[in-house]
Amino acid sequence: MTDSPPEALRLYQEALAHYNARETEIAVAKLKQSVSLNPSLDDAYEALSVILYNQGRYDEAIEILKRWVCANPETLMAHTNLSRCYVAKGMIAEAEHEQAEARRLTWKAELKAKKQAAPPVSFDSQIEKYKKIIAYDPKDVLGYFSLGTVYLEAKKFREAMDILEKAVEVDPGHTASYVGLGQALEALGDHSKATRIYRQGIAAAEKSGDMMPQKKMESRLKALEEKKD
């Protein structure tokens, strides 16, 4: 969570309590106050947009998400959630544009991570963070993907497999999840299933035009097939 003025953070935390108590309108009102006080409070935008989306209030969600993009154009979840709202309204061209931007930010983050020495991280705190995101929205594929990626980094391959299987179940077109799932299966020694997952992921990547994950999976698939020979 970004640094936030005490009042904005207090409103955000109170909103979560009201939402958990099924006092949705109070939660929405407090979240709107929170982002007005601090436009950089990403967690408040995320919670507010998900609540509005789940209620079918797509126009309100789109308005909030556009404000979030203006405040932080590099926020992956803002573009992803905006794409989902556009899909719900049948605005396919706009949805595809936002999904493409989300993919660009995903690969940009991956490249940046490779160029920098990773600082010490608390896997436990990251795991809890992404579990909360999934609890907000059980259909949030990026939440599952992010949690699965943390499990991979923590070498918790069984947990990574379970979560990334859920990711491709939620969104069979999310090619990055196939990459992670295949890696988890390889680490667990299940090369047969990894081969099958890579083939499924390659087919999904060919359909969506996701060249980077497609090449990764083709490379891993080739390596697995060479081991069999």
| Per-residue pLDDT of the chain in tens (229 residues, 90 and over written 9) | 444 468 999 999 999 999 989 999 999 999 999 999 998 889 999 999 999 999 999 999 999 999 999 988 888 889 999 999 999 999 999 999 998 888 888 888 777 776 665 555 678 888 998 999 899 889 899 999 999 999 999 999 999 999 999 999 999 999 999 999 999 999 999 999 999 999 999 999 999 888 888 999 999 999 998 887 5
What letter does residue 118 receive in the DSSP assignment? Answer: P
Which pLDDT does position 1 carry in this prediction?
43
Q: What's the CA dihedral at 138, 140, 141, 144 to 10 degrees?
A: -60
- Distances from the Cα of 58 to the Cα of 37, 82, 99, angstroms: 23, 9, 17
Q: What are the structural domains of the chain? A: 6-115 (1.25.40.10), 123-228 (1.25.40.10)
Residue labelled with tokens 């106050």: 33
What letter does residue 119 receive in the DSSP assignment? Answer: P
